[in-house]
Amino acid sequence: AHVADMQVDADLVVLAAGAIHSPLIMQRSGVEDRSGQLGRNLSIQPFTQVMGKFKEPLYGFRGALVGVQVDEFTRSDGYTIFSGLAEPESLMAQGDMKAGKAHIDFMKDYKYYAGVNAFSTDQGRGYVQWDGDAYTGGKTIHWNPNREEFENMKASAALAARIFFSGGAEKVFMPTFQSLEVDSVFSLDEKLAEVDYGIKGMYTFRSNSFSPHGTCRMGADSYESVVAPNGEVHGTAGLFVADASLIPEPMSAPPQWTVQALAKYVSDQINAKASSYFIG
């Protein structure tokens, strides 16, 4: 419902709504897009959660959940593994809590579980798009893995499973919509061979994402990028972007510090030329 009309007169605007909403806001606002790249190149760094069951109680849902990182394969393969056991309501959203008696048994055993998040790198082929006018239009967020990206997701999950078995896990639960339990590292490859790409790869793994990026990518060429190297939008003076949408290509490492560094860099560029941006 329409509530109020508001106008803000600003010498300079910094847009930092993230890789999903920054391009959507610009699209809804009619910002010039000479490159055709606004909202494109969406990379999400997908991850799946793999769970292992151990003999001794672990109480993995207590305390700080992310305490271990495996980055040995980050540069070479784009796989990064983080510890983190989802609380029960998160597992409910992922559809891995079973039902009836199986659910009761699952929760009784919950203290014996450990969980890791297995990240892989995608190719930045997704997009976000606003269609229609600013008030009655709608958004599209599009991402689905091609076969290479799907195989990367499978490989990172397999790596997480091997880590669990090497740590003494009795059983590993793979993050597939079909119930897939692996009892031994020696049967892992055989089990994974059952995992099919399915319909556009979307209905096989229970995948998630924390780190969308790339939809307003930064670059010197205004016909290949949305934002200039100083953070200012090509063709729109005084409009700056300072968030994960600036990252020009898919990242394999966690991007949080990179985003913070980019935001500080953009603010430094603004401060360096403050006299030309601000009046008085």
- The model's pLDDT over 177-215, given as tens digits with 9 standing for 90+, comes to 888 899 999 999 999 998 989 887 878 998 899 899 999
43-81 confidence digits (pLDDT tens): 999 999 999 999 999 988 887 767 789 999 999 999 999
- For residues 85 and 60, the answer to whether their CB atoms sit within 8 Å is yes
**To the nearest whole number, what is the mean pLDDT of the chain?**
91
Going by C-alpha positions, the residue among 109, 67, 68, 69 that lies closest to residue 88 is 109
> What is the maximal distance between C-alpha atoms in the chain?
72
| H or E element, residue 90 | helix 88-94
155, two tokens? 């490989």
The tens digit of pLDDT for each residue in 239-280 reads: 999 999 999 999 998 899 999 999 999 999 999 999 888 776
- Which residue has tokens 């269609």? 131
* pLDDT at position 8: 87
Q: How confident is the model at residue 96 (pLDDT cuts 50, 70, 90)?
A: low
Alpha carbon distance 104, 60 (integer Å): 18
Q: Where are the domains of the chain?
A: 47-122+144-208
Q: Which of 205, 199, 156 is nearest to 177 (CA)?
A: 205
Residue 173 CA to residue 167 CA, distance in Å, equals 15
